[in-house]
């Protein structure tokens, strides 16, 4: 594993591994023990330009390559991930503080999305549409957009980089990837290494490890990319969307959430507890789909809450390398302070701490809070850490109102003995995704993934990936002579 943080601590531009030429370094730390993993000299605006120009230069030849030949690259990339799975898991644990359970979860999904990218190479299908004009043939071609810029986050960096990079490449595009500065290897150079070893043509995929303090909006404003795929906070997403719109670019935005697990009066409480604990505390709660709010019908609230707190109390906190650990560190000290600050704010507002976790460095123990005032801002925002708000409600109407009372609309879940009651409930919630008798954290290659309201614009996966990374072109053919009015 050490070689990953030495050999890959570089920029990958136009098929070459090289240091950046910026005036400062990004220092990559292990969030659990503070070990310095790597020092990476940042990329400059000039290197961002070089990366985009390289992708543009080779993209047309790649798009013209036989789709069956392109497919072999993704087949090999999948084999490489399978062969290196144990090493990649160690990288995820070291750089993210992800537990072994989390690493396995991320790698499972990454392999599923690589499998889907194999099929996507053959999905650039066209249509012939009828015309009211005699002798006219209307051909509609689905073609690559050209070059895609991808900005990935720190929480599931390997998966969420691959989730845009692999389909964009499979559909004939070039890509420039900018990983989060806290996960430059897992979310950036490791992805480039996989595709380099899989035989992807040099220059087609580029990775620039940098920071907006150095490049400003250059990554988004650059004239080459036609689509920017961004995963991150709604605050930054709003800015990315604004810049894209001003430059007539398409943006695909996968942003934050404030999901709820809703437990109705007829739910299987033991099962609902298991689903709610996973939905809130997987990867320390650093998941956009995580359930910030645990909502329970008042008639079963006391029983559910007792079981929920007991299970949360049993979760082992500590070294993510230990297979028994469920909750490892959050990504950095800023995040740790933000999460502990949210707990203290809730208590100051009058909330009752059923479980009040301590914070030591980047280790934030889980907290469970209830009786938070209904007008608290904490109930309407994303808390990116291991903190759950338990909210009793009286009947479905009140539950629907509370669930929808947030600027976000990403995911959610409802538990009930009556599946159709659950589906009817789900249909009333303003989210892009909702699950009946399950958790809130799910992703699958064929289903449209994305949110409503402040949770994003656009969808990824399946058919929606085609819409994200391709465009349509109409070419008409007039057989015989057309008539003109003058």
Helix (H) / strand (E) element for 258: namely: none
Beta bridge partners of 369: 353, 389
Domain limits, the chain: 4-255+455-474, 259-436
Catalytic residue among 95, 214, 288, 396: 288
Residue 324 among the catalytic residues: no
Fold annotation for 4-255+455-474: Aldehyde Dehydrogenase; Chain A, domain 1 (3.40.605)
- pLDDT tens over the chain, length 486 residues: 558 999 999 999 999 999 999 999 999 999 999 999 999 999 999 999 999 999 999 999 999 999 999 999 999 999 999 999 999 999 999 999 999 999 999 999 999 999 999 999 999 999 999 999 999 999 999 999 999 999 999 999 999 999 999 999 999 999 999 999 999 999 999 999 999 999 999 999 999 999 999 999 999 999 999 999 999 999 999 999 999 999 999 999 999 999 999 999 999 999 999 999 999 999 999 999 999 999 999 999 999 999 999 999 999 999 999 999 999 999 999 999 999 999 999 999 999 999 999 999 999 999 999 999 999 999 999 999 999 999 999 999 999 999 999 999 999 999 999 999 999 999 999 999 999 999 999 999 999 999 999 999 999 999 999 999 999 999 999 999 998 999
Please report where in the chains the tokens 């995929």 appear, as a residue.
205
The C-alpha atoms of residue 261 and residue 137 are separated, in whole angstroms, by: 52
Residue 474 tokens, joined: 């109409």
CB contact at 8 A, 149 and 95: no
Catalytic residue among 214, 254, 382, 396: 254
The C-alpha atoms of residue 485 and residue 116 are separated, in whole angstroms, by: 50
Please report where in the chains the tokens 């950036």 appear, as a residue.
188
Rg of the chain taking only CA atoms, in angstroms? 24
Residue 244 among the catalytic residues: no
The C-alpha atoms of residue 366 and residue 343 are separated, in whole angstroms, by: 10
Angle in degrees, 0-180, between the axes of helices 85-96 and 67-83, rounded to the nearest 10: 70
Give the ranges where 269-389 is alpha helix by DSSP (H): 269-281, 298-313, 333-348
User: CATH assignment of 259-436, given 1.10.132.50, 3.30.70.580, 3.40.309.10, 3.30.750.200?
Assistant: 3.40.309.10
Residue 408 tokens, joined: 């976000």
pLDDT at 2: 56
The C-alpha atoms of residue 49 and residue 158 are separated, in whole angstroms, by: 24
pLDDT at 3: 85
Residue 426 tokens, joined: 């789900």
pLDDT at 130: 97
DSSP string, 64-116: HS-HHHHHHHHHHHHHHHHHTHHHHHHHHHHHH---HHHHHHHHHHHHHHHHH
The C-alpha atoms of residue 216 and residue 197 are separated, in whole angstroms, by: 32
pTM above threshold 0.85: yes
């Amino acid at each position: 594993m050490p070689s990953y943080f030495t050999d890959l601590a570089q920029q990958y531009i136009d098929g070459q591994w090289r240091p950046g030429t910026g005036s400062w370094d990004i220092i990559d730390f292990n969030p659990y023990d503070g070990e310095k993993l790597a020092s990476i000299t940042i990329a400059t605006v000039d290197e961002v330009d070089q990366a985009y120009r390289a992708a543009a230069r080779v993209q047309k030849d790649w798009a013209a390559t036989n789709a069956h030949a392109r497919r072999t690259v993704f087949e090999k990339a999948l084999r490489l991930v399978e062969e290196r799975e144990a090493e990649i898991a160690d990288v995820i644990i070291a750089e993210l503080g992800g537990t072994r359970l989390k690493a396995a979860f991320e790698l499972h999904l990454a392999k599923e999305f690589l499998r889907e990218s194999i099929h996507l190479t053959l999905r650039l299908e066209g249509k012939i549409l009828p015309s009211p004009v005699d002798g006219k043939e209307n051909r509609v071609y689905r073609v690559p957009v050209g070059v895609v810029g991808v900005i990935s986050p720190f929480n599931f960096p390997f998966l969420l980089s691959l989730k845009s990079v692999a389909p964009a490449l499979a559909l004939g595009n070039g890509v420039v990837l900018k990983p989060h500065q806290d996960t430059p290897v897992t979310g950036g150079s490791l992805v480039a290494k996989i595709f380099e070893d899989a035989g992807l043509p040099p220059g087609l995929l580029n990775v620039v490890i940098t920071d907006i303090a150095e490049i400003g909006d250059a990554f988004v404003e650059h004239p080459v990319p036609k689509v920017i795929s961004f995963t991150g906070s709604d605050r930054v997403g709003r800015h990315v969307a604004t810049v894209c719109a001003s430059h007539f670019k398409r943006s695909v935005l996968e942003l934050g959430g404030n999901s709820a697990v809703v437990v109705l009066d007829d739910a299987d409480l033991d099962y609902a507890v298991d689903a709610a604990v996973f939905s809130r505390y997987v990867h320390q709660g650093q998941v956009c789909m995580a359930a910030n709010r645990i909502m329970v019908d008042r008639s079963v609230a006391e029983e559910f809450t007792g079981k929920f707190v007991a299970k949360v109390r049993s979760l082992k906190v500590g070294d993510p390398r230990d297979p028994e650990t469920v909750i490892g560190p959050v990504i950095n000290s800023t995040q740790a302070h933000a999460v502990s600050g949210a707990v203290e704010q809730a208590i100051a507002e009058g909330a009752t701490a059923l479980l009040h976790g301590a914070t030591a460095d980047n280790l934030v123990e889980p907290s469970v809070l209830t009786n938070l005032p209904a007008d608290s801002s904490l109930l309407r925002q994303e808390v990116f850490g291991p903190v759950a708000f338990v909210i009793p409600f009286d009947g479905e109407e009140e539950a629907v109102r509370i669930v929808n009372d947030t600027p976000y609309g990403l995911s959610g879940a409802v538990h009930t003995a009556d599946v159709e009651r659950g589906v009817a409930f789900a249909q009333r919630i303003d989210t892009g995704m909702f699950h009946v008798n399950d958790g809130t954290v799910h992703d699958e290659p064929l289903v449209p993934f994305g949110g409503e309201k402040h949770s994003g614009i656009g969808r990824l996966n399946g058919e929606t990936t085609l819409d994200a990374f391709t465009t349509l072109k109409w070419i008409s053919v007039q057989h015989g002579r057309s008539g003109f009015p003058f």
